[in-house]
């Protein structure tokens, strides 16, 4: 059993491997793909492809640019993807990996390689949408409006039969001439009947209800005639009616056709197909107008209603502003797909910005703005027109139905459900959409504000010496646990001797560090922190910190401090090393008397310098631009070639350079390999200013160092 299964499993894994290895995939287009090489209005070429097997025989279509066609023509069923890339590169000099990936994925998804991918994501999106009760209700009411009873993929045979039975005559020169003459005569007759006023437009025997029912039946008939015109035109140009359907439209039967197959035809043919529907309806309307002019009774009145409806439908469908036949004619004439959506988006956004900035307009931009503005105004006019029609006609019909008893109430309920329900639901959906969009925008603004606050905290944390080197996610994580605290002037944030329970970071304001006798040890400003040692070693507070003015602080409690800082060896070691370096720095005569906060400001600005044995660190006469502290090794000091002393680990030199900036008066040479910590004069002056002193005050405070001990030996260094 296992021996029989093994080859099968190997075959399955081999198939999966071939599918997943894109470079070795060999695209094999199906043999019966239909291709049409077409041109746009400006003469540039493009190609339309049709997979006749796709969508259950109705066909699937793709539009390719010349660059895509060059790649498609290399898909001969022999070349793998990698071979197609190489061949295309040799022919054109272009490495089209991204274009080939998109093309092969689109062809595969639409079944051009023999397998049409299941619409899994579309089904999942539909399922997700149907979870919304409002969506489910709208889908239910839509079924009452348009009930798709049956559809026939590729219903070309039936339409061709009708075309051969007489429909083709309409597309001959004689037939077209007769239709044009008939339409003109019918319009003249209809205008004459309107002026005569012999027929009522809405009522039948003074009944508004019967008149509206008759108009509804005629409306369904006009839709069917309209669609029939499209279908016959599609057949005339040798294309197929991709799908023919039979539906209930507002409880009345009608047919519809799918004209997607015209994608494979020219712009002129597409324009004729778009015009065929409205002209077909206008022809029937013209015939009805002539009947109404010849007969003044019931038949004439009904014919007048039909003529009015068909002529109105023709004018309505030919409006290029609405997404009806006139719009598609305009799109094909201009060769501008998605014109309405692009124009409305342009009018709402870019056009407004250009007006505000008083920028220059191109001709195409002016056209888009004009069309978009007309589309918006037309939509508003249609709303007003619909409301007026409701008030003048439908309200009268509703009053008549109310007087007719229970049957009238049922009819009103159906009218409201079918005609008013979708509008109300659309309005409710739009309001809900606005509310959701507002809520999402508010949530997004709040999220951005929180993120900005976290980023600000993380930037401040990154400047804390012992947190230097932490990656951004860790800094953001610590920032998320900081709590905001505000303190007023004169309030003690921490008190000497109390247990250390929080680490503090100053966001704004000034604080003083006080000794036990209330003498001022240091001043702490924005971006500086305090309290880490008390948390690290569980020590009591070593000083009191009091706000000089109103201050805003960020604090990190003990639990989060231990999680993010104490338990991370490199950070705790950095804190301890900083403490040791601070103590070593404070032991130097030049820095004696500086408080810990001032020393903490100096330490991050020291940078390491390595000097091999025998090399000079500074020479007599060099510019005095930095101070040095020996961390490892030994150096010799000489003045005018005479050795005056040696310096070892922990010693410093060059302080006069920091204080005065004078040239070096001594040479310091490495006896062994040296590791030095250097502090530049520019950084030193900044530190002095940050402490609140002037350079003169600092010189006066450190004057005791000059001429004392080590300073005497290296006074000029």
pLDDT tens digits along 197-231: 888 777 777 776 677 677 777 777 888 888 889 99
Contact 479, 461 (CB under 8 A): yes
Contact 604, 611 (CB under 8 A): no
Q: What is the pLDDT of residue 456?
A: 86
Lowest mean pLDDT among 106-110, 413-417, 512-516, 548-552: 413-417
Contact 472, 512 (CB under 8 A): no
Q: What is the pLDDT of residue 189?
A: 92
Encoded tokens for 298: 């019931």
Q: What is the pLDDT of residue 715?
A: 38
Alpha helix positions (H), 482-568: 532-537, 558-561
**Nearest in space to 276 (alpha carbons), one of 183, 185, 156:** 183
Q: What is the pLDDT of residue 74?
A: 92
State the number of CA atoms in the 13 A half-sphere of 345 facing the CB: 5
Lowest mean pLDDT among 13-17, 149-153, 512-516: 13-17
Q: Does residue 712 carry a pLDDT above 50?
A: no
Backbone angles phi, psi at 56, to 5 degrees: 60, 40
Lowest mean pLDDT among 172-181, 447-456, 579-588: 579-588
Q: What is the pLDDT of residue 710?
A: 35
**Range ranked top by mean pLDDT from 299-303, 512-516, 613-617:** 613-617
pLDDT higher at 205 or 187: 187
Burial level of 550, CB count in 10 A (0-12/13-18/19+)?
A: middle
Q: What is the pLDDT of residue 690?
A: 56
**Alpha-carbon distance 82 to 164, whole Å?**
50
| pLDDT band of 287, cuts 50, 70, 90 | very high
Q: Mean pLDDT throughout 681-700?
A: 59
The region that residue 466 occupies, defined by phi over 0 for left and psi between -120 and 50 for alpha, beta otherwise, is alpha
Per-residue pLDDT tens for 113-133? 887 666 666 677 777 766 777
**Alpha-carbon distance 464 to 529, whole Å?**
7
Instruction: Give the list of residues 6+ apart from residue 608 with CB closer than 8 angstroms, or none.
Output: 631, 675, 676, 677, 678
Q: Does residue 350 carry a pLDDT above 60?
A: yes
| pLDDT band of 398, cuts 50, 70, 90 | low
Q: Mean pLDDT throughout 690-695?
A: 53
| pLDDT band of 93, cuts 50, 70, 90 | confident
**Alpha-carbon distance 564 to 557, whole Å?**
11
Percent of the chain clearing pLDDT 90 (strictly above): 15
Per-residue pLDDT tens for 24-76? 888 899 988 999 999 988 889 999 999 988 887 778 899 999 999 999 999 98
| pLDDT band of 1, cuts 50, 70, 90 | very low
| pLDDT band of 276, cuts 50, 70, 90 | very high
Q: What is the mean pLDDT of the chain?
A: 78
Q: Mean pLDDT throughout 471-478?
A: 84
**Alpha-carbon distance 567 to 134, whole Å?**
53
Q: What is the pLDDT of residue 709?
A: 35
Lowest mean pLDDT among 146-160, 364-378, 420-434, 555-569: 420-434
**Range ranked top by mean pLDDT from 209-213, 272-276, 338-342:** 272-276
| pLDDT band of 707, cuts 50, 70, 90 | very low
Q: 551 pairs with which residues across the strands?
A: 487
Q: Does residue 532 carry a pLDDT above 70?
A: yes
Per-residue pLDDT tens for 426-442? 667 667 777 877 888 88
Q: Does residue 584 carry a pLDDT above 70?
A: no
Please, what sign has the CA dihedral across residues 632, 633, 634, 639? negative
Lowest mean pLDDT among 60-69, 230-239, 635-644, 703-712: 703-712
Q: What is the pLDDT of residue 181?
A: 94
Q: What is the pLDDT of residue 253?
A: 66
Encoded tokens for 663: 């040239």
Q: What is the pLDDT of residue 557?
A: 86
């Amino acid at each position: 059993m296992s021996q029989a299964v093994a080859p099968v499993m190997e075959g399955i894994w081999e198939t999966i491997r071939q599918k997943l290895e894109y470079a070795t995939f060999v695209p094999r287009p199906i043999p019966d793909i239909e291709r049409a090489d077409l041109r746009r209005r400006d003469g540039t070429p493009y190609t339309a492809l049709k997979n006749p097997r796709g969508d259950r025989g109705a066909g699937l279509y793709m539009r390719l640019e010349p660059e895509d066609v060059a790649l498609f023509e290399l898909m001969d069923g022999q070349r793998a993807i990698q071979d197609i890339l190489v061949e295309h590169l040799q022919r054109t000099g272009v490495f089209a990996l991204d274009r080939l990936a998109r093309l092969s994925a689109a062809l595969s998804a639409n079944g051009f390689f023999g397998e049409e991918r299941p619409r899994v994501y579309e089904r999942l999106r539909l399922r997700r949408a149907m979870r919304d009760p409002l969506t489910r209700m709208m889908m239910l009411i839509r079924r009452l409006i348009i009930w798709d009873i049956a559809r026939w993929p590729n219903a070309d045979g039936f339409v061709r039969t009708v075309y051969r039975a007489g429909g083709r005559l309409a597309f001959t020169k004689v037939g077209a001439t007769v239709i044009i003459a008939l339409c003109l005569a019918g319009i003249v007759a209809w205008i004459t009947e309107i002026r005569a006023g012999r027929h009522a437009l809405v009522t039948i025997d003074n009944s508004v209800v019967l008149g509206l029912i008759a108009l509804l039946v005629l409306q369904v008939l006009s839709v069917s005639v309209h669609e029939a015109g499209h279908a016959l035109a599609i057949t005339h140009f040798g294309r197929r009616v991709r799908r023919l359907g039979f539906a209930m439209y507002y409880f009345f039967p009608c047919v519809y056709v799918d004209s997607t197959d015209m994608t494979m035809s020219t712009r002129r043919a597409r324009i004729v197909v778009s015009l065929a529907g409205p002209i077909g309806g206008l022809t029937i309307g013209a015939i009805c107008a002539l009947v109404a002019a010849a007969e003044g009774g019931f038949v004439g009145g009904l014919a007048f209603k039909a003529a009015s409806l068909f002529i109105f439908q023709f004018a309505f469908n030919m409006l290029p502003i609405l997404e009806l036949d006139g719009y598609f004619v305009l799109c094909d004439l201009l060769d501008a797909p998605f014109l309405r959506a692009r124009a409305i988006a342009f009018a709402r956004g870019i056009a407004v910005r250009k007006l505000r900035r008083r920028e220059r307009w191109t001709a195409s931009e002016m056209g888009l703005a004009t069309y978009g503005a007309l589309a918006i105004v037309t939509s508003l006019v249609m709303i007003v027109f619909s409301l007026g029609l409701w008030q003048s006609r439908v309200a009268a019909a509703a009053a008549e139905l109310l007087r007719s008893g229970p049957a009238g109430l049922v009819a009103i309920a159906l009218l409201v459900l079918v005609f008013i329900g979708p509008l109300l639901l659309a309005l409710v959906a739009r309001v809900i959409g606005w509310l959701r969009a507002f809520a999402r925008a508010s949530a997004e603004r709040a999220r951005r504000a929180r993120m900005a606050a976290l980023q600000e905290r993380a930037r401040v944390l990154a400047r804390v010496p012992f947190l230097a080197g932490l990656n951004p996610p860790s800094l953001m994580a610590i920032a998320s646990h900081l709590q905001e605290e505000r303190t007023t002037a004169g309030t003690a944030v921490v008190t000497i001797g109390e247990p250390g329970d929080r680490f503090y970071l100053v966001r704004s304001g000034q604080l003083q560090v006080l000794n036990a006798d209330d003498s001022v040890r240091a001043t702490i400003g924005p971006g500086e922190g305090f309290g880490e040692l008390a948390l690290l070693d569980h020590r009591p507070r070593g000083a009191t910190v009091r706000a000089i003015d109103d201050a805003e602080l960020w604090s990190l409690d003990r639990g989060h401090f231990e999680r993010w800082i104490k338990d991370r060896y490199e950070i705790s070691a950095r804190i301890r090393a900083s403490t040791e370096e601070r103590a070593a720095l404070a032991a130097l005569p030049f820095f004696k008397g500086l408080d810990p906060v001032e020393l903490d400001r100096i330490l991050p600005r020291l940078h390491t310098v390595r000097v091999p044995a025998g090399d000079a660190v500074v020479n007599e006469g060099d510019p005095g631009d930095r101070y040095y502290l020996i961390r490892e090794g030994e150096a010799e000091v000489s003045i005018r070639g005479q050795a005056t002393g040696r310096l070892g680990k922990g010693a410093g030199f060059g302080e006069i350079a920091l204080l005065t900036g004078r040239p070096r008066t001594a040479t310091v040479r490495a006896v062994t390999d040296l590791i030095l910590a250097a502090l530049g004069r520019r950084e030193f002056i900044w530190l002095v200013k940050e402490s609140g002193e002037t350079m003169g005050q600092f010189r006066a405070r450190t004057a005791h160092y000059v001429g004392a001990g080590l300073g005497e030996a290296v006074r000029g260094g």
